[in-house]
Structure 1
Amino acid sequence: MSQNLSARRLRLRAVALASMVALAVPLAPAAASSSDPDPSPGLLADTGSAAVTGDDGNLLPGTIFPVPPDDFYDPPAGLGDGANGELIKVREQPAGWDARTWMVMYHSTNATGEDIPVTGRVVVPHQAWTGEGPRPIVTVGSGTRGVGDDCAPSRWLDYERPFVEPLLLKGYAVVITDYEGLGTPGTHTYMVGQSQGRTVLDMVRAATNLTASGLRAGGKVAIIGYSQGGASAAWAGELWASYAPELDVVGVAAGGVPADLTAVSEDLDGRIGFGLLLLAAFGYDAAYPELDLDGYLNDKGRAMYAEQQDACVDAALAFALQDLDVYTDEDPRYTAAWQARFTENQPGKNPPRVPVFLYHGLVDEIVPARQAAAYRDTVCAAGADVRWQWHLGEHVSTMVTAAPAVVAFVDNRFKGRTFYPTC
């Protein structure tokens, strides 16, 4: 990579950092590895963070990359299949919260039914749990990080902190999946809800299989997420009853949900979020090889595809205001094959029979509000108990302004308080 391109990417990453309201915080000292499967000792002290530390162990402000090498994300040779949520690797790591944090690798199932290794984090507050039953768990679907291995949520920015930190302060455990192909081998299946939803659910199973965490099966579970994570939370809610019925899910909070990918892509084409459309095309092609994205690309498109296989969300900003027809000979979105897969991954028709909190920004420039309202109407028509909330903001700010309502929703669900739906 040339120095000019490197400088450009770093400037874009600085923009992404500012827009996502990430905060640099001190790291706790490294803790000893647990006795759970394959603690992988001897790796870098803080390989779970993409940020850079100074001599005093604190994060240096504004330093995000490079991500240090870390073979934790490499599955063991001859892994074979395993039960969903079965642990493959465990490593305790420093945390920026008043909590213990573990990296885990676990088994999950992708959109076509194949066993896959997935990584993620388990975060448990130091404070003892004094409530009824096992400590509740909040499983988080992360927002867009990109498609490259360096973009894994466990290695990049914690811009879900407005949700995560208040939940930890209330004594709840928080678990955050990296999804399929982020960190682990293969291209990330970005925006493929059937895969994302399963990894969110299996993250809970993995956490309760981690004996050192003190978490136990049978406790209450809440599912939350925003943007890509909102779609993941929505899909986890839809899959829960059939895929992980043993989990005691008590509520789902999903914001900024890109439910109708055709409608979302039409708003992204030629606009500021065009790079996200490209990432979604990569993700669907990775999940469903029969879609044959290469067959629709022109020479410029093939060159772009080859160059952007490790793209993080910041790199996608460089494609703002471009058009899909610059990279394609034929638009794949409206073909029967692509439409079938979009429909298969469009949530709303089978919502969970638990309280659902949906919210969206009125002036969202990335995920159009009209398709969010259509998703809400579909979920309501399907018989779900839904509370809907508009926020006077665009895409990023809505995540921040909605965070207190999400935390209150989760807290009320765990405490069994009355839920007041708007439909």
Structure 2
Amino acid sequence: MHRVRRWIVAAVPLGLAFAVVVAPVPAVAQEADTGPGVVVSRGALAPIAELPDTADSYRLVYWTEGPTGTPARSAGAVYLPEGTPPPGGWPVMSWAHGTTGVGDDCAPSSGYDVTPLTRDYISAWLAQGYAVVATDYVGLGTEGEHAYLHGRSEGRAVIDMVRAARAVTPSLSKSWVAFGHSQGGHAVMFAAHEATSYAPELDYRGAVATGTPANLEQLFPFGGPGFPNLGLNGLTAFAAYVIDGLKVARPDLPIDDYLTPAGRELVKASETMCFVPLLKHAGTLGVGEMLSRPLDNEQVRSALRDYLAVPTTGYDRPVFVGHGLTDQTVPFPLGAKLALDLQVAGQPVTFRPYPGNHGDSVFQALPDTSTFVRSLFGR
């Protein structure tokens, strides 16, 4: 039994991306105003970041909260559907993207990784009559460093993107839903947990999270010299991003003391390399070769819980959780355990498994998630 539990906990992380670009056009707010959702600038998207069948699209830079709890800038894209807004304005879907990397070149609003998957998925929601706003998260294409999978700051960036978009777009409703996949599923769960208390002036209706990398705080303490290759897609690269993010969020921790020279080199490289290049750079290096000592002391465990742990109580709006049975990036047991924990705690969760892998499951879920979101908006 202990061996089974160890395997379930020892199954891990993520993937997926999104897109847009820059040109800081006239500032919209005074530099001294750093309140959540305050717009710094609005600019045009690069052609590569534009989506078909939109009435308008643009890039925003706005204020939110960074990983150390201080004001920080994020950027993001706004996409408006074609047609006439309904009474009250377009219902808003706030998209949280999957793993792209942590360097400025990896920012979706700079046009990074505009895949057909991303285009088709976002376009499917636009075609249903929703406006889509899409954060990059703090530090991707803006000042400072991006703390990968830092739940609180990513969740608040998702919420504050709605505030920012509404501040400069009169046709947007105050009613909104959060949705995300992979890294974005993790961000959405944090946004869902505090949306009504953090932004009470908005009308938050619920959330959709697919391929969510939950329970990672239970996995990382198993890490140490000799940690085996689990056969998971991109595990070493994902681990490097998390370790780098922990250094950003918790500069008081001696993280480098836990890394081998090869581990320190890979984490340093992760600061500028986007996901695919970092994956190639890592080569056959395993997590066990990155670490010089075990991560199972209480100081590290506590830091990982604060940084990664998805809340399993306190949700006051419906949440849809979906996961692929053959996912080899974020293995199914991680998502299933999240859903079970939510159900046991009496939370308003709907859970659906799908036959596909990490990338397939988001589309396999689309009929169910579309119905779910329509019900949230009462459409």
Q: TM-score range by the shorter chain?
A: 0.7 to 0.9
**Aligned mates of 2:327, 2:59 — CA distance in 1:** 33
Q: Is the 8 A contact 1:193 1:231 kept in 2?
A: yes
**Aligned mates of 2:190, 2:270 — CA distance in 1:** 27
> What letter corresponds to residue 190 of structure 2 in structure 1?
W
| Aligned residue number for residue 340 of structure 1 | 302
1:91 counterpart = 2:43 = yes
CA apart distance, 1:331:
3.3
**Aligned mates of 1:197, 1:80 — CA distance in 2:** 24
Listed one character per residue, the Cα deviations across residues 187-234 of structure 1 (whole Å, up to 9, x for unaligned) are 211011111100000000000111xx33346x2101100110000111
Higher relative contact order (CA 8 A, sep 6+): 2
**Aligned mates of 1:113, 1:353 — CA distance in 2:** 24
| Aligned residue number for residue 119 of structure 2 | 161
1:393 counterpart = 2:356 = yes
Structure 2: stretches of 5+ with no match in the other structure: 1-14
Q: Is the 8 A contact 2:51 2:119 kept in 1?
A: no
SS of equivalent to 2:317 = coil
Kindly report which structure 2 residues correspond to 1:219-298, keeping only aligned pairs within 5 A, or say none.
Answer: 219-263=174-218, 265=220, 270=229, 271=231, 272-274=233-235, 275-298=237-260
| Aligned residue number for residue 189 of structure 1 | 147
> What letter corresponds to residue 91 of structure 2 in structure 1?
P
**Aligned mates of 1:134, 1:264 — CA distance in 2:** 43
CA apart distance, 1:264:
5.0
1:148 counterpart = 2:103 = yes
CA apart distance, 1:373:
1.5
Structure 1: stretches of 5+ with no match in the other structure: 1-18, 23-46, 50-69, 417-423
1:205 counterpart = 2:163 = yes
**Aligned mates of 1:83, 1:304 — CA distance in 2:** 35
SS of equivalent to 2:44 = strand
| Count, aligned residues | 347
**Aligned mates of 2:23, 2:189 — CA distance in 1:** 32
TM-score, reference length from structure 1: 0.75
Residue of 70, 76, 88 corresponding to 1:133 = 88
SS of equivalent to 1:349 = coil
> What letter corresponds to residue 297 of structure 2 in structure 1?
T
| Aligned residue number for residue 117 of structure 1 | 73
SS of equivalent to 2:304 = helix
CA apart distance, 1:324:
2.3
> What letter corresponds to residue 157 of structure 2 in structure 1?
T
Q: Is the 8 A contact 1:273 1:321 kept in 2?
A: no
**Aligned mates of 1:300, 1:278 — CA distance in 2:** 11
| Aligned residue number for residue 373 of structure 2 | 410
1:299 counterpart = 2:261 = yes
> What letter corresponds to residue 272 of structure 2 in structure 1?
D
SS of equivalent to 1:101 = strand
Q: Is the 8 A contact 1:263 1:371 kept in 2?
A: no
Change (3 A) 1:245 1:304: same
**Aligned mates of 1:291, 1:369 — CA distance in 2:** 31
CA apart distance, 1:242:
2.4
CA apart distance, 1:255:
0.9
CA apart distance, 1:165:
0.7
CA apart distance, 1:186:
2.4
**Aligned mates of 2:218, 2:358 — CA distance in 1:** 16
CA apart distance, 1:320:
5.7
CA apart distance, 1:337:
2.6
Residue of 91, 108, 132 corresponding to 2:64 = 108
| Aligned residue number for residue 313 of structure 1 | 275
| Aligned residue number for residue 66 of structure 1 | none
**Aligned mates of 1:80, 1:287 — CA distance in 2:** 24
Q: Percent identity?
A: 29
**Aligned mates of 2:358, 2:171 — CA distance in 1:** 34
**Aligned mates of 2:62, 2:368 — CA distance in 1:** 31
Change (3 A) 1:317 1:151: same
**Aligned mates of 2:201, 2:313 — CA distance in 1:** 18
Q: CA RMSD in A?
A: 2.7
**Aligned mates of 2:103, 2:135 — CA distance in 1:** 15
> What letter corresponds to residue 62 of structure 2 in structure 1?
Y
Q: Is the 8 A contact 2:101 2:270 kept in 1?
A: no
